[in-house]
Amino acid sequence: MKALFRFIPVFFLSVLVVACDSQGQQDEFVNDAELPPSGYTSTDILGEVLSEDRDDWRTAPLYAGKIRIDPVYPNPSAGQFVTIPVSVLEFGGGQGGVVLRAEDNQGSLRLIDELLHAEQPGAYILRFSPSVLSRTGLIRLFIFDRLGELISYGDLKVN
């Protein structure tokens, strides 16, 4: 019985260390997302990747194995609607759904699209016209859960 009481603090300490490490990795991921866009994953109108930017569409550490975001397509876009495939891999993976945001001309994050029902495993699609961004060039897109935790980010080139 005494051995059990010695094991409990060690167990909780190890859980705490893992949780702190995960939060540290998530913070680093968010810091990466805040950097200016420097490239993009080029895709065709069917979503086939033509060239890859390794920084685009990574999954945040807190969502690894829970949600997968595929690259936006077509990229670059000449104004046609673009699509971002979202795969929820486990129940509750999206914590209230997913939200797509991009910076507006004033630097504020603006709501572009949302999937409030994307909590169940399955395939979902975020879709929008780049004209709602009111800008051209390389634009960073952010995908959050409904609680505001960053899930993924990537860059769209709008011609």
DSSP assignment of 13-70 equals HHHHHHHHHHHHHHHHHHHHHTSPP----EE-TT--EEE--TTTTEEPGGGTTTEEEP
Query: pLDDT class for 3, splitting at 50, 70, 90?
Result: low
2-158 under CATH 2.40.33.10, yes or no: no
Note the pLDDT tens digit of each residue in 22-77.
Answer: 789 999 999 999 999 989 999 999 999 999 999 999 999 999 999 999 999 999 99
CA 53 to CA 140: how far, in whole Å? 13
Omega of the bond prior to 37 within 30 degrees of 0, cis?
Answer: no
The DSSP bridge pattern shows strands 67-69 and 82-88 to be antiparallel
CA 129 to CA 63: how far, in whole Å? 27
What pLDDT score was predicted for residue 1?
55
Query: Rounded to an integer, what is the distance from CA 65 to the centroid of its chain?
Result: 13
Q: If we measure between CA atoms, which residue out of 136, 138, 158 comes closest to residue 53?
A: 138
> Which two structure tokens, joined as six digits, stand for 3?
């051995």
Note the pLDDT tens digit of each residue in 6-36.
Answer: 554 444 434 434 445 778 999 999 999 999 9
Note the pLDDT tens digit of each residue in 95-143.
Answer: 789 999 998 888 889 999 999 888 889 999 999 999 999 899 999 999 9
Is it the case that residue 5 has pLDDT exceeding 80? no
